[in-house]
Amino acid sequence: MSTLPKQYIPKGSDPLMEKFVNCIMKQGKKSTARKILDDALAIIKTRTKDPPLEIFAKALLNATPLVEVRPKRIAGAVYQVPTEVTPKRQQSLSIRWILNAARDRKGIPMAEKLALELLDASAEQGSAIKKKEDVYKMAQANKAYAHFAKMG
């Protein structure tokens, strides 16, 4: 199926790629996870003229949230307080949302699902982007509670 060389991503090359592979991985099957990402990038290469790694980076960037809501208990009531997201959490959330969106697609192999989700996310559509927008809307709706974020 794969038209590209076996090792499309050199091992340990990009820490972001390694993190993505580790997040794909289930039950310690790293070679399977790596193959899924390799195949997904190969599929992306056949469907677009852009380099697959650029599409991958753009998809992650587009799915990256800047604000999120966190529950905070004040005087017995729980408020959804909008807070800024740290860069490390931004990265892990975008990876998680893209993978969950890909896993939610049914009826096709995981490599294809992941390729489609990455293509969608790079074009600012798809489930991962919708999730980001939903989180942003929640933060906007609860902007009135932003002053609680400063309380220790």
The residues that bridge with 76 in the sheet, in sequence order, are: none
Q: What is the CATH number of the domain that holds 20?
A: 1.10.455.10
The residues that bridge with 73 in the sheet, in sequence order, are: 78
Helix axes of 52-62 and 87-104: crossing angle, nearest 10 degrees: 110
pLDDT of residue 73: 93
Residue type for position 66: L
pLDDT of residue 143: 92
47 domain-assigned: yes
| Counted domains in the chain | 1
pLDDT of residue 3: 47
Q: Are 37 and 17 in contact (CB under 8 A)?
A: yes
pLDDT of residue 15: 86
pLDDT of residue 5: 46
87 domain-assigned: yes
Helix axes of 87-104 and 15-24: crossing angle, nearest 10 degrees: 40
pTM: 0.87
CB neighbour burial string for 51-81, b if at least 16 within 10 angstroms, e if fewer = ebbebbbbbbebbbbeebbeeeeeeeeebeb
Separation of alpha carbons 125 and 119, rounded Å: 9
pLDDT of residue 152: 62
- The range of the structural domain enclosing residue 106 comes to 15-150
98 domain-assigned: yes
52 domain-assigned: yes
Structure tokens at 40: 């997904």
DSSP state of 121: H
9 domain-assigned: no
Q: Average pLDDT for consecutive 10-residue bins of the chain (152 residues)?
A: 50 81 92 93 92 92 94 92 94 95 93 94 94 95 88 66
